[in-house]
Amino acid sequence: MHPEKGPDVSSKPKRSPVAAVAVLALACGLGAVTPAHAAGKPSAAAVTRTAETADGTVSCTAPSGGRAGELASDIAQALRDRRSTVSLALDDGRTGTSCVLGPHRRFDAASVVKPIILGALLWTRHGDLTPQERQLSDEMITRSDNDAASALWRELSAGPDGGASRPVKVQQFLTAAHMNATRPSPGPTFGLTRVTAPDLIRLLRVFDGKGDLLTPASRAYAMRLMAGVDGEQRWGTPAGAPAGSGVHVKNGWLQRSDGAENPADRGDWKINSMAAFTGATGSYRLVVLTENNRVTPGHPAEEGYRYGIATIEGVAVAVHRGLARPA
């Protein structure tokens, strides 16, 4: 099935083979970044290492300088020669490792806003969802259903004086979760919410952590839905994940042009992926956001869509391999 155009795409992309992307060379176009932990301050003993891509710096922090350096180098190598614009954030509490690339850059969320909608709903309702809200949540996350997401977005919005709806409850949840860089779409088009990779890491920490923003039952519910995403939509950050690990994923895909205001964007694809990985030794989280995945003139639109997936999966393979390597 070919993915559709539009700000809120819910078609089911086919799984992209991991073996093919493991040998890809990848690239990005971002400014330099500071060596900040994606979701908190690194320990005093942590060591930071960086590696350069064509237009930006990958910065990794870990207790071992060797691990940090190798991981930064592997990610940069994975991004060599790719045309995608990329931002990423990694947060691994098991090994005390974090990485960032372009952490302050905002991207159109597409369907990775749907876990935000779910978090806002669970927070607003204190976890006490109606049967209809549970059905809509299931359809929104596991099948990326846009009608379900729109219905919940409206529930979390308010229209002052009969005017356009504003996602008031979504914004309140973002503030409570310290996702201060995220900008909700001001109207009903939820997929145009602007997100950053570190903010989505914070959301994953709300879901799989031990904080009190959501009840334990709500966190377990969110993780269960993300673990049950349709098989054809489990591409991206899960590529190369350790065998036997729990994979809790949500992806987004969108073909959209910003027109004359952004001539670098010519209707090419925005492809995003976020996931938490759980196992006996703890959990870690990875977010990769991409845009400007180019469609060659005269070629099928799906070409840019596949290109973005390949960019993300190349990064993911490097990350999972690097985390598995002994320090």
215 vs 55, residue with greater confidence: 215
> For residues 267-299, b (16+ Cβ closer than 10 Å) or e, as one string?
ebbbbbbbbbbbeeeebbbbbbbbbbbbbeeee
Q: Residue 67 is inside which H or E element, if any? A: helix 65-78
Q: What is the pLDDT of residue 309?
A: 97
Question: Is residue 3 included in any domain, yes or no?
Answer: no
pLDDT at 149 over 70: yes
Asked if residue 174 belongs to a domain, the reply is: yes
Name the DSSP letter for residue 35. -
- In percent, the amount of the chain with pLDDT more than 70 equals 81
| pLDDT for residue 164 is more than 80 | no
Under 8 Å CB-to-CB from 171, ≥6 apart: which residues? Answer: 184
Q: Considering all CA atoms of the chain, what is the largest pairwise distance in Å, rounded to the nearest integer?
A: 60
Residue 158 lies in a domain: yes
CA distance 274 to 251: 6
State the pLDDT at residue 74: 98
Considering the domain boundaries, does residue 253 fall inside one? yes
Query: For residue 306, which phi and psi values (nearest 5 degrees)?
Result: -65, -35
What is the pTM assigned to this prediction?
0.86
Cα–Cα distance for residue pair 61/72, rounded to 1 Å: 9
CA distance 50 to 56: 10
Residue 5 has pLDDT above 80, yes or no: no
Q: Is the dihedral of CA 151, 134, 230, 26 positive or negative?
A: positive
**Domain with 151 in it:** 18-324
Closest C-alpha among 211, 193, 249, 248 to residue 40:
211
Please indicate, yes or no, if residue 204 is contained in any of the structural domains: yes
Q: Choose among 272, 258, 315, 266: nearest CA to 60.
A: 315
Stretch (H or E) spanning 290:
strand 282-293
Tens digit of each residue's pLDDT (9 = 90 or more) over 64-90: 889 999 999 999 999 999 989 999 999
Question: What distance in Å separates the CA atoms of residue 306 and residue 35, rounded to the nearest whole number?
Answer: 30
Number of domains in the chain: 1
Which pLDDT tens digit goes with each residue over 33-61? Answer: 333 444 445 555 889 999 999 878 999 99
Q: How confident is the model at residue 202 (pLDDT cuts 50, 70, 90)?
A: very high
Beta strand spans in 117-204 (E): 194-195
Contact between residue 263 and residue 281 where contact means Cβ atoms under 8 Å apart = no
Q: What CATH number did the domain enclosing 260 receive? A: 3.40.710.10
Is 159 contained in some domain? yes
**Residue 12: inside a domain:** no
- Asked if residue 5 is part of any domain, the answer here is no
| pLDDT at residue 141 tops 80 | yes
| Residue-averaged pLDDT of the chain | 85
Q: Band of the pLDDT at 29, cuts 50, 70, 90?
A: very low
Give the 3-state DSSP-derived string for 220-267, with helices as H, strands as E and coil as C: HHHHHHHHCCCHHHCCCCCCCCCCCCEEEEEEEEEECCCHHHCCCCCC
